Amino acid sequence: MAGSLPLDRAKKRTGLLMLLVAAAMVALGFASVPLYRMFCQATGWNGTVQERLNAVAPGAVAGRFVNVRFDANVSPSLPWSFEPDQNVTRVAVGARQMVFFTAVNNSDHAITGSAAFNVTPPQAGQYFVKIQCFCFTEQTLRPHERVRMPVVFYVDPGFAKDPDAGQIDEITLSYTFYPVAKPKTAS
């Protein structure tokens, strides 16, 4: 009987430890999406661009240019038209650039959408810096309303020095608009 007391304590300790591990795994499961997004935005991993609101472009790198292509898509469940005002632009690495996209609500009622983006090739994502963007911001368009939305960006000068980026002569910035099921209401 005396030997079973430490065994009972060990079983309770092991059970408590397993319960804590399970709780930590559940918490990590809920936190994984925002943590992954922050990681990708901070590192540019997997084609995720850097976002630096109100950043100042450092200035053009002499002799280094890259074409930036713009791609616009809309979920089939969103009755909008969405396109870039220009399909491609040639930019000096380090120079500030502004482009516009146009969205049109083709329905007879107001609809809210939100755009997700990515950059290809993925190794260029860490150098593509958005200063101003409509992505991840809910956009509510009235029936048949047309809006122009700016994107202000630059390609970080580190791009010109990176041997993995040396062969890249075109970067594609792609947006896809999705409907927002429950739009945030203004308070």
Reported confidence tier of residue 47, pLDDT bands at 50, 70, 90: very low
pLDDT of residue 69: 97
- Tokens read off for 109: 């009622």
Whole-angstrom Cα distance, residue 35 to residue 82? 30
CATH assignment, 48-179: 2.60.370.10
Whole-angstrom Cα distance, residue 169 to residue 6? 68
Domain map of the chain by residue range?
4-43, 48-179
pLDDT of 67 > 50? The answer is: yes
Are 64 and 155 contacting, i.e. CB atoms less than 8 angstroms apart? no
Continuous segment of H or E residues that includes residue 15: helix 4-43
Reported confidence tier of residue 12, pLDDT bands at 50, 70, 90: confident
- Tokens read off for 32: 């994984």
pLDDT > 70 in the chain, percent: 76
Reported confidence tier of residue 33, pLDDT bands at 50, 70, 90: low
Reported confidence tier of residue 63, pLDDT bands at 50, 70, 90: confident
Q: What is the mean pLDDT of the chain?
A: 82
Q: Kindly state the DSSP code that residue 75 receives in the 8-state scheme.
A: -
- The number of residues making up the chain comes to 187
pLDDT of residue 187: 42
Whole-angstrom Cα distance, residue 118 to residue 176? 9
| pTM: predicted TM-score of the whole model, two decimal places | 0.68
**Phi, then psi, of 121 in degrees rounded to 5:** -70, 155
Residue that the structure tokens 């809006």 belong to: 147
Query: Which carries the bigger pLDDT value, residue 104 or residue 44?
Result: 104
Reported confidence tier of residue 164, pLDDT bands at 50, 70, 90: confident
Residue that the structure tokens 């994107």 belong to: 151
- Tokens read off for 141: 């368009």
pLDDT of residue 106: 97
